[in-house]
Amino acid sequence: MSRSTLLPDAGELSLDCIKADRNTITVVVHAAHPAAKCPQCDSPSTRVHGHYQRKLADLPWNGIAVYLQLRTRGFFCVAEGCGQRIFTERLSHTVMPHGRRTRRLKQVLDWISLALGGAAGSRLAGKIGILASGDTLLRQLRRMNMVSGPSPRVLGIDDWAWCKGRRYGSILCDLERGRVVELLPDRDVETVTQWLWLHPGIEVISRDRASVFAQAARRAAPQAVQVAARWHLLHNLIEAFQRVLETRHGELRQAAQIVMEERPATEPVCVVTAHPKSSSTGHESQVRSNRCRRMERYEALMALIRQGMSRREAARRMGMNRLTVGRWVDAGSFPERQQRRRKSTGDGYARLSGAALSGRMS
């Protein structure tokens, strides 16, 4: 194994010896440079004040825990006017100040905690010989320095669910870069307003029809143009179109009958059962199957009525409630079931309007 692989940084450390027992390996090292720079004035110094030992956890070797026994030094600062009289040497490529793990071990733990979190990350780390509890990984994850880029120019705001139907937060995305910028703990006006104040330079805000985000944008980013999110425009348009079609089953049936009569007999006919959500899931297949059974019962009932049978007798013959029979007969055509509308998760959702269709919010 090469020297640069054995030690975290061969330019900062020199190897003295290696001690091994049954469960651990201890690598004894010392600082390689004869001088060190003052952390306050950045002046080099060779006046040694004293020595002390540091024990650092390092990457394991084949599942065996490895520790660095580092002999490091304290120095006198020789610069005039510097308030730092005594300082310890910094090994920036090996370990952070006051750290108990090498930088390369900390980086590996960061990767594990980002991918798996606390408990699962701790189990994986134990399998490869790194001792770290789930709480330790979570604390390290909270202290991690996230790289914050410039304020987004085109910002997307929407809500997200901590617990669906009970507690919601706000998600803010940079729509030009296609990444999440921030997750806010709630969707209150004050919380969103404070975030917008701290991130000036936003030119466009894409949002849903919730009044919370509109008020926050008017307060903290009045220069930004507010537009309706494309997904909400299409979703609202589809729902509105479905509601219109659900009340026009008779007209649709007559139009389909006219088309079928005008079609040449030799032309193949493709019958499609329209449904608001045309997905091939098991639930949708069950819905279509139930509709076919109701259609068969309706045709059988109307055949009895056309033969002159009373509604009461037809209800007894079909095993149906008299009120249902009366409602079906009075409908004049097959009565489609109304689709249940799901409640929106956003506060203040409004109906589709001309302003939304134009893509511009007032």
**pLDDT one-digit tens code per residue, 308-352:** 889 888 888 888 888 888 888 888 888 887 666 555 444 443 343
pLDDT at 123: 92
pLDDT at 263: 65
**pLDDT one-digit tens code per residue, 214-237:** 888 888 888 889 888 888 888 888
Long-range contacts of the stretch 102-107 (C-beta < 8 A, 24+): 102/8, 102/56, 102/57, 102/58, 102/59, 102/68, 103/8, 104/8, 104/58, 104/59, 105/57, 105/58, 105/59, 105/130, 106/140
Confidence class of residue 145 from pLDDT cuts 50, 70 and 90?
low
pLDDT at 272: 46
**pLDDT one-digit tens code per residue, 48-66:** 999 889 999 999 988 889 9
pLDDT at 5: 66
Mean pLDDT in the chain? Answer: 81
**pLDDT one-digit tens code per residue, 153-210:** 999 998 888 888 888 899 999 988 888 888 888 888 888 888 888 888 899 998 887 7
pLDDT at 274 over 50: no
| Percent above pLDDT 90 for the chain | 11
pLDDT at 1 over 50: no
pLDDT at 273 over 90: no
| Percent above pLDDT 70 for the chain | 85
Domain ranges in the chain are 3-143, 154-233, 282-338
pLDDT at 17: 93
Over residues 14-34, the mean pLDDT reads 89
Q: How far apart are CA 222 and CA 208, in angstroms?
A: 17
**pLDDT one-digit tens code per residue, 285-295:** 777 788 888 88
The DSSP annotation for 24-45 comes to EEEEEEEE--S-EE-TTT--EE
Tell me: domain 154-233, CATH 3.30.420.10, correct? yes
Tell me: domain 282-338, CATH 1.10.10, correct? yes
Q: Which two tokens stand for residue 191?
A: 């919380």
CB 211 within 8 A of CB 348: yes
pLDDT at 358 over 90: no
pLDDT at 28: 92
